[in-house]
Amino acid sequence: METLLALLTVFTQPDLLLLVAIGTFAGIYIGAIPGLSVTMAVSILISFTFSWEVYPAISLMVGIYMGGVYGGSRTAILLNIPGAPSAIATAMDGYPMAQRGEAGQAIGVTTVMSFFGGLIGILVLALAAPYVSVFALKFQPRDYMLLAVLGILLVGSLSSGSLVKGIFAGALGLAIGAVGRDPLTFTERLTFDLQLMEGGISFIAVMIGMFGVSEALLQLQNVDKTAVRQKITKIVPSFGVIRKYLPLSLQTSTIGVIIGALPGTGGDIAALMAYDHAKRVTKNPKVPFGKGAMEGLVAPETANNAAVGGAFIPMMTLGIPGDAVTAIMIGALFIHGLNPGPMLMVDQPDMFWFIVGALFMANIFMLIFGLTGIRIFTKIVEMPRAVIIPLILLLSIVGAYAVNNSISDVYWMLGFGVFGYFMRHYGYPLGPVILGVILSRLLDDNWRRAIISEREDLGRFFEGILTSPLSFTLFAAVILIFVSQTPLWTALKTRLFRKASQ
Amino acid sequence: MSRKLIGAFVALGLSAAVATAQDYPAKEIQGIIQWGAGGSTDTVMRAVTPHAETVLGGTVVMQNMTGAVGAIALNHVAGSDADGYTLLMGAENPLLYKVMGLGDKDYSEFTPINILARGTPILVARNDAPFDDYAGMMDFIKANPGELRIGSTGPGGVPSVVTAMMNTEEGTLDVTAIPYDGDGPALTALQSGAIDVMPAVLGAAIESIRAGAMKPLAIFDTEASAKLPDVPTVTSFNDGYNAYLPWGPFFGVFVPKGTPDDVVAKLTEAYATGAENADFLALMDGRGFTMMSISGDAAADFLTTWQQNTAWLLHEAGLTKASPEEFGIARPGQ
């Protein structure tokens, strides 16, 4: 009964409900603008809500978080510029749809699927949080490393065209991610003794430059072309469409929850892995991936919103943040006099159920705000290029500056923008670069931790992989996915197939 | 946004006419937090500053500026005007930048406004570790050289200093140090069994200890903590530690040297009053921090002593890049 009351707190108090709504609404727009991140918004809110009670403060933060993760897809679909790292995969199929005049439909599906993913994440949080967190704690450094290797193998599905160029782009991303003082030993890497390089290259600056500026430069080539008229019928997907993608979205939501619940990995990696998964399991998409496949929207969007619920799992059960946003929320709980940790669920179960309730409401508001106002949004794509190109550049500059309030980030962003333009020009995919930057530290840090803890003995390292069921499963998946991308696999498949048909 | 713009215009107008301390603060004050959002420094600064703002009658806009172990924030504030409108909200690390080869600036370029509090290190072990106390751990290390995995947070971090103390007092210990970027991730790794022991700050581990998710081995202080009265002090096992303790990471607010005295006085008063706020004290107590709230000469002396002790300890343990002597850091007691 008390549980139910706590769960319903947010519904019974109109002011809390209003705050969740405001948060979600603001979150969608913060998420949509590249460079303005949920992490930043929530940390500003800590000071802003300092004198408030804890429930209203958390309501606002939960709303912003949920809305922000979804909002990143807006600019990804309309402008080919992911508003947040978790929307990188969304751009790959969302933007081609907008180019065909189907932006409204793309946003509609994205919204409904984000809602669905968010719902799965919340359900898992509410019903299975303790079990998931026990599972998440099973991951050892070598498992994180294998997970990163699994991520690196996504290069294959993120690069349309030449795989070699994709691999080059991925390797470049890994190198960009390694620049600066190594956070584990503080040794300078790839800094060329320049103070500018010491702090590393901001990942967000790379992302905004590569996607935003290079897109603007690319559009300069067809300034005089008239924009595609957007069809604005059929915005809300029919029940049949939803049912069609239900099995896929269940799978990708599961990926989202688990990756979200792992401390140190979040919605960005979840979305990319889900995209890859969709590409693997969808045998005959109606439209090919990368050209506007609906599956390519469903997968990342369900996964990144499911990761929200997932990220709260270790936070609420163990006091361990599932990602950057939940790390700040733990700080907020401290400031409001709570002690987040393993005892929070025991001492203050109300807090847990309140957050579940608030997340649920934020998810519903996201659906409402997401499906209204699409008509106005799609007008963005119909704007003349002479307006939209300067707008993209302006947004990119503001976004890159806002991350660290540092002007050098703006220069990095512009530099990578020009570089990204030439990469596109010569057929190098940009997705793998970002993938490399995201995974660089996950791979590098955990490889070092794993091998140091085995006292730098490769034999012991592999023994560890083979004896732990979790590591072995991941290792097997790595091998399998790797082999499936080589010609060996096709040869093997045809041979097996022939045998079966004889 | 428009508020910021108005603020900027107001600031422009004011910098033309020389601002006097009577007007201070006449515009928004920038508070640069050296560490990321959600960390200890961030939480402490965001908790105390609103109380200081009421005394000050102005606004402090806080912003996290991370990178290069906090050196980016330090250099940024050191390079800004010494007018009291840019504050550095930092922790202890800058005092080790020079000897660790991480930078050429430290708090000697700043005037301390308030050293708010210090943390207490505590040695914790994972629950299924094959020992239950400090002595048991020492026996385990001797019996299994290189097998004990101890968490670290890079050279100059709390674990490295605690490990250096242990190496000095117990003889060089053959353990394997696994690096993590912060004690939060390291304590997570401890619970998942990736490391065996971790010298952490009490506040970061206290909730997990309370819940029985990890075993406390020893508090690195001369007296037991009121929060965990049953955990023995490390000095009860080995007298030698008395030479270094009490020692701990700390949090402080700083302004660049050369800031007008009356501005420093105003800020000092604001933060000293803010640090007395009951809510803030409760928060600090709950996280196991020891309140200090010192300023002026007391703060300057504290910084000097802290730097001497720690830099020489690390240097003698062979962990530094350069001798403290090169930077005029005297041996403790000299």
pLDDT, tens digit, for every residue of A182-194?
878 788 889 888 8
- Backbone region of residue A301 per phi and psi (left: phi > 0; alpha: psi in -120 to 50; beta: other values): alpha
Question: Is A319 within 8 Å of B208 when comparing Cβ atoms?
Answer: yes
- B207 contacts in chain A (CB < 8 Å): 319, 339-344
State the nearest Cα–Cα gap between A270 and chain B, in angstroms: 20
SS (H, E, C) B29-70: EEEEECCCCCCHHHHHHHHHHHHHHHHHCCCEEEEECCCHHH
Rounded Cα distance between A230 and A101, Å, is 4
Which residues in chain B are contacts of A321 at CB distance < 8 A? 38, 184
Q: Could you say which DSSP state residue B196 is in? A: S
Residues on chain A touching B127 (C-beta within 8 angstroms):
none
Reading the block at residue A230, the tokens are 């957007």
From chain A, pick out residues whose CB is under 8 angstroms from the CB of B282: 337
Helix, strand, coil percentages (3-state) for chain A, rounded to 5, are: 75, 0, 25
Measured in angstroms, the CA of A48 and the nearest CA of chain B are apart by 10
Q: How confident is the model at residue A1 (pLDDT cuts 50, 70, 90)?
A: low
B154 and A50 in contact by Cβ < 8 A? no
Place of tokens 């991520």: A151
- Residue pair B94/B106 in contact (Cβ under 8 Å)? The answer is yes
pLDDT of B122: 94
Query: Is B154–A184 a contact, with Cβ atoms under 8 angstroms apart?
Result: yes
Q: Quick count: other Cβ atoms within 10 Å of Cβ B108?
A: 16
Do the Cβ atoms of A405 and B63 come within 8 Å? Answer: yes
**pLDDT confidence bin for A378, thresholds 50/70/90:** confident
Residue A499: band (very low, low, confident or very high) from pLDDT cuts 50, 70, 90: low
- How far apart CA B294 and CA A306 sit, in angstroms, is 47
Cα gap A20→A27, rounded to integer Å = 10
For residue B39, list chain A residues with Cβ-Cβ distance below 8 A: 327, 331
What's the Rg (C-alpha) of chain B?
A: 21
Nearest to A140 among B42, B71, B194 (CB): B194
pLDDT, position A237: 84
Cα–Cα distance for residue pair B215/A303, rounded to 1 Å: 36
Instruction: Quote the percentage of chain A above a pLDDT of 90.
Output: 40
Least reliable range by pLDDT among A211-225, A304-318, A466-480, B201-215: A211-225
What are the percentages of helix, strand and coil residues in chain B, rounded to 5?
45, 20, 35
Enumerate residues 6+ apart whose C-beta is below 8 A from A83.
A31, A32, A33, A34, A71, A72, A73, A74, A75, A76
> B181 vs chain A: nearest CA distance in angstroms?
6
Coil, helix or strand at residue A339: coil
Average pLDDT over every residue of A271-285: 89
Contact present, A436 and A171 (Cβ < 8 Å): yes
> Taking CB atoms and an 8 Å limit, are A453 and B287 in contact across chains?
no
Q: Do B102 and A342 touch (CB under 8 A)?
A: no
Residues with Cβ within 8 Å of residue A327, at least 6 apart in sequence? A321, B36, B37, B38, B39, B184
Say yes or no for a CB contact (<8 Å) between B192 and A140: yes
Supply the DSSP symbol for B116. Answer: E
**With 80 as the cut, is the pLDDT of residue A142 above it?**
yes
In sequence order, the 6+-apart residues with CB closer than 8 A to the CB of A418 are: A213, A214, A217
Q: Is the pLDDT of residue A278 over 70?
A: yes
Rg of chain A over Cα atoms, rounded to whole angstroms, equals 22
Question: Rounded to 5 degrees, what angle do the CA atoms B202, A321, A85 make?
Answer: 140
Nearest to B7 by CA among B56, B55, B57, B59: B59
Low-confidence ranges of chain B (pLDDT < 70): 1-22, 333-334
State the average pLDDT over residues A349-353: 89
- Looking at residues A131-143, what average pLDDT do you find? 89
Interface mutation vs chain A, best among B34, B43, B99, B283, most A CBs within 10 Å: B43
Residues A281/A97, Cβ–Cβ less than 8 Å = no
For residue B190, give the nearest of B153, B224, B234 by alpha carbon: B153
Which of A36, A43, A145, A404 to mutate to test binding with chain B, by most B CBs within 10 Å of its CB? A43
Considering only the beta carbons, identify the residue of B46, B100, B206 that sits closest to A186. Answer: B100
B6 burial level (CB within 10 Å; 0-12, 13-18, 19+): exposed
Q: Which residues of A touch B65 (CB under 8 A)?
A: 404-406
Question: Would you state the pLDDT for residue B12?
Answer: 47
Q: Which amino acid is at A85?
A: P
User: Contacts of residue B70 in chain A, CB cutoff 8 Å?
Assistant: none
The CA distance from B213 to the nearest CA of chain A, in Å, is 8
Residues of B in contact with A346 (CB under 8 A): 211
Cβ distance A199 to B68 less than 8 Å, yes or no, reads yes
Shortest alpha-carbon distance between residue B24 and chain A (Å):
22
Nearest-CA distance A415 → chain B (Å):
20
* Whether B37 and A331 lie within 8 Å, measured CB to CB: yes
Burial of A161: CB neighbours in 10 Å, binned 0-12, 13-18, 19+: exposed
Q: pLDDT band for A407, please (50, 70, 90 cuts).
A: confident
What are A453's two structure tokens? 């803890």
Give dist(CA A306, CA A82) in Å, integer: 18
Query: Least CA distance to A200: which residue of chain B?
Result: B67
Contact predicate B315/B162, CB 8 Å:
no
Q: Are B179 and A449 in contact (CB under 8 A)?
A: yes
In the prediction, which pLDDT does A419 show?
96
- pLDDT at position B5: 53
C-beta separation of B164 from B317 below 8 A: yes
Nearest to B149 among A181, A341, A453 (CB): A453
> Is there a contact between A34 and A207 (Cβ–Cβ < 8 Å)?
yes
Percentage, residues of chain A above pLDDT 70: 98
Burial A455-485 (b: 16+ CB within 10 A, else e): eeeeeebeebbeebeebeebbeebeebbeee
Average pLDDT over residues A320-328: 85
Q: How far is B194 from chain A (nearest CA, A)?
A: 6
Report the C-alpha gap between A110 and A104 in whole angstroms. Answer: 10
**Confidence band, pLDDT 50/70/90 cuts, at residue A501:** low
Closest chain B CA to residue A189 = B68
- Asked whether the beta carbons of residue A186 and residue B69 sit closer than 8 angstroms, the reply is yes
Chain A residue with minimum CA distance to B70: A199
User: What does the pLDDT average to over A298-306?
Assistant: 95
Say if the Cβ atoms of A342 and B208 lie within 8 Å: yes
Beta bridge partners of A131: none
Q: What is the pLDDT of residue A203?
A: 85
CA distance B177 to chain A (A): 8
Q: Which residues contact A253 (CB under 8 A, 6 or more apart)?
A: A116, A117, A120, A121, A302, A303, A306
Å from A43 to nearest chain B CA?
A: 6
**Do the Cβ atoms of B35 and B41 come closer than 8 Å?**
yes
A264/B68 Cβ within 8 A: no
A212 pLDDT tier (thresholds 50, 70, 90): confident
The pLDDT of residue B14: 47
Between A303 and A218, the higher pLDDT residue: A303
Which chain A residue's Cα is nearest to B321? A187
State the Cα–Cα distance between residues B310 and B294, nearest whole angstrom.
20
**How close A349 gets to chain B, by Cα (Å)?**
15
Nearest-CB residue to A321 (from B38, B176, B195) = B38
Nearest C-alpha in A relative to B39? A331
C-alpha span between B295 and B267 (Å, rounded)? 10
Contact B154 A343 (CB under 8 A): no
ipTM of the modeled complex? 0.84
The single-letter DSSP state of residue A179 is: -
Q: Is the pLDDT of residue A147 over 50?
A: yes
DSSP annotation of A210: I
Task: Kindly state the tokens that stand for B221.
Answer: 């202080």
Question: Looking only at Cα atoms, what is the longest distance across chain A?
Answer: 76
Mean pLDDT computed over A210-228: 83
User: Terminus-to-terminus CA distance in chain A, angstroms?
Assistant: 64
* pLDDT for position B21: 58
Q: Which residues of chain B does A324 touch, with a Cβ-Cβ cutoff of 8 Å?
A: 37-38
Task: Tell how strand B86-90 and strand B29-33 pair up.
Answer: parallel
In this complex, do B194 and A453 lie within 8 Å of one another by their Cβ atoms?
Answer: yes
The H or E element that residue B217 is part of is strand B214-219
- From residue B183, alpha-carbon distances to A400, A465, B65, B148, B232 in Å are 29, 26, 19, 18, 21
Please tell me the predicted confidence (pLDDT) of residue B15. 47
Closest partner residue to B286 among A42, A339, A452, by Cβ? Answer: A339
Q: Are B38 and A43 in contact (CB < 8 Å)? A: yes
Angle between helices A295-318 and A239-261 (to 10 degrees): 40
Closest residue to B210, CB basis, from A141, A324, A343: A343
Buried b / exposed e along B175-184 (16+ C-beta atoms within 10 A)? bbbbbbbbbb
Distance of CA A117 to the CA centre of its chain: 13
